[in-house]
Amino acid sequence: MKIAFIGDIVGKPGREMVKKYLKDLKKEYNIDLVIANVENASHGFGVSIKNANELLSYGVDFMTGGNHIWDKKDIIPFLDTLPIVRPLNYPKGVPGIGVKIIKLNNEELAIINLMGHFTMPMVDNPFLSIKEEISRLKSIGIKNIFIDFHAEATSEKRALFCILKAEVSAICGTHTHIGTDDLMIDEGTFYVSDVGLSGCRDGVIGMDKEAPLKRFLTGLPSSFDIPKRCKKILQFVVLDIFDGKCLDGYKIKIYDDKDEVSLQKAFLE
């Protein structure tokens, strides 16, 4: 199976890049399934039911979340029915679930959303939670396992890779909005610390630069906003998975004002 994963879609600019390019990209790269992190898709904070359905109409097949998944209240009643997962390690009893198993090309694929600890809301230990979940999935014969690890600290993401290497198909980091170039495949597991945002690339983490600059220069609070005009980027990884192992992987960047496509192959450890 060939899977694409789009990093944090930030606001309308990110949704516009998905609309413009995704359907053609699915054909060009023979992609069977597109997963996207949508927790910033509605003006940078959360995802509304309207924008979730919009992204599904553009060719996104499945969605993951993070700490902002709760920001738009109208999505909460649909977390159990939409093709979406919220972080696995939220306490029991909150809406939605952290893992879903889907059928793809006569195979089963588990899609997991997990959230880190550093600077994040209080959740259960991500490392213990995911070890327990992987054991459960293996016990019912699930081999193909994809994880969106939504975490601030790259050390947490790297540690998870060391814990789960050879046990899962892919670990893709999200949340920082800053793409990293450390994509690799080791013992059949694909890893990248952060896929990077899809949206405005010329501000600060997809937002207009004025508010964060004011915070850094003065220490005073200021509301983040999505620019009305900006230079945009679409960032995603493509993974070729067979029998639980990632055989090949690469990252693609598309810029709205340039003709060329940037492609980076995963390093085979």
Structure-token pair, residue 42: 């509605």
Residue among 68, 150, 175, 177 flagged as catalytic: 68
Which residues 6+ apart lie within 8 Å of 36 measured at CB?
5, 6, 9, 18, 55, 60, 62, 63, 64
pLDDT of residue 240: 98
- Complete edge-to-edge strand list for the sheet that includes strand 184-186: 99-104, 107-115, 144-150, 170-174, 189-192, 184-186, 267-268
Per-residue model confidence as pLDDT tens digits over 139-172: 999 999 999 999 999 999 999 999 999 999 999 9
pLDDT tens per residue across span 237-263: 999 999 999 999 999 999 999 877 899
Closest residue by Cα to residue 149 from 205, 194, 119, 197 = 194
By C-alpha distance, which of 221, 176, 218 is closest to 194? 176
Structure-block tokens of residue 207: 């937002």
The predicted structure's pLDDT at residue 222: 87
Specify whether the backbone of 175 is left (phi greater than 0), alpha (psi in -120 to 50) or beta.
left
Residues of the chain with pLDDT under 50: none
* Domains defined for the chain, CATH in brackets: 2-201+231-268 (3.60.21.10)
CA 125/CA 29 separation, integer angstroms: 37
Q: What is the pTM of this model?
A: 0.96
Cross-strand pairs, 248: 240
Instruction: Enter the DSSP assignment of 120.
Output: S
Q: Whole-angstrom Cα distance, residue 80 to residue 220?
A: 39
Residue 43 falls in the annotated catalytic set: no
